[in-house]
Amino acid sequence: MISVEHITKKFVRNRKQKEKEEFYADNDITFEANDGEIIGILGPNGAGKTTLLRMIAGILEPTTGKISFDGMNYKDNEIKIKQNIAYLSGNTKIYDTLSTYELLKMCCDIYGVNKENSEKRIKEITKVLGMEQFLYNKIANLSTGQTQKVNLARCLVHNPKYYILDEATTGLDIISSQIILNFIKEERDKGKTILYSTHYMEEAENICNRVIMINKGKIIKTGTPDEIKRDTNTTNLRDAFFTLIGGVSAYE
Of the candidates 239, 237, 247, the one whose C-alpha atom is nearest the C-alpha of residue 204 is 237
Give the binding range for another protein (CB under 8 A) out of 9-17, 28-36, 169-177, 213-221.
Answer: 9-17
14 touches another protein (CB under 8 A): yes
111 touches another protein (CB under 8 A): yes
Among 5, 32, 68, 94, binds another protein (CB under 8 A): 94
Cα–Cα distance for residue pair 63/22, rounded to 1 Å: 12
- Report 140-159 residues binding another protein (CB under 8 A): 140-143, 146
- Report 36-65 residues binding another protein (CB under 8 A): 54, 57-61
235 touches another protein (CB under 8 A): no
Q: Are 31 and 42 in contact (CB under 8 A)?
A: no
Q: How far is the CB of 87 from another protein (least distance, A)?
A: 5
- Phi-psi map region of 120: left, alpha, beta (phi>0 left; psi -120 to 50 alpha): alpha
Of 94 and 244, CB closest to another protein:
94
Among 1, 23, 109, 171, binds another protein (CB under 8 A): 109
106 touches another protein (CB under 8 A): yes
Of 57 and 152, CB closest to another protein:
57
Which residues form the interface with another protein (CB under 8 A)?
Answer: 12-14, 54, 57-61, 78-83, 85, 87, 91-95, 97-98, 101-102, 105-115, 118-119, 122-123, 126, 132-137, 140-143, 146
